[in-house]
Amino acid sequence: MKRVGFILKVREDLIEDYKDLHMDVWPEMKQALKKSGWHNYSLFMSKNGMIFGYFEATKSFYDSLKNMNKEEINSKWQNFMSPYFEIPETATPDQSMIELEEVVHLD
Q: What is the pLDDT of residue 89?
A: 84
Distance CA 87, CA 92 (A): 7
What confidence score (pLDDT) does residue 85 get? 96
Active-site residue identified among 22, 30, 66, 76: 22
Q: What pLDDT does 42 receive? A: 97
Distance separating alpha carbons of residues 51 and 30, to the nearest angstrom:
19
Count other C-beta atoms under 10 Å from residue 16's C-beta. 8
Q: Which alpha helices (H) appear in 44-105, and where do they start and end?
A: 61-68, 72-81, 93-96
Each domain of the chain, given as residue ranges in start order, spans 2-100
Q: Is 105 a catalytic residue?
A: no
Q: Does domain 2-100 have CATH number 3.30.70.100?
A: yes
CA–CA gap between residue 54 and residue 99 (Å, rounded): 10
* Mean pLDDT score across all residues of the chain: 95
Q: Which residues fall within 8 angstroms of residue 82, CB to CB, at 6 or more apart?
A: 91, 92, 93
Q: Tell me what pLDDT residue 90 has.
A: 83
Find the distance separating the first CA and the last CA of the chain, reported in whole Å. Answer: 15
Low-confidence ranges of the chain (pLDDT < 70): none
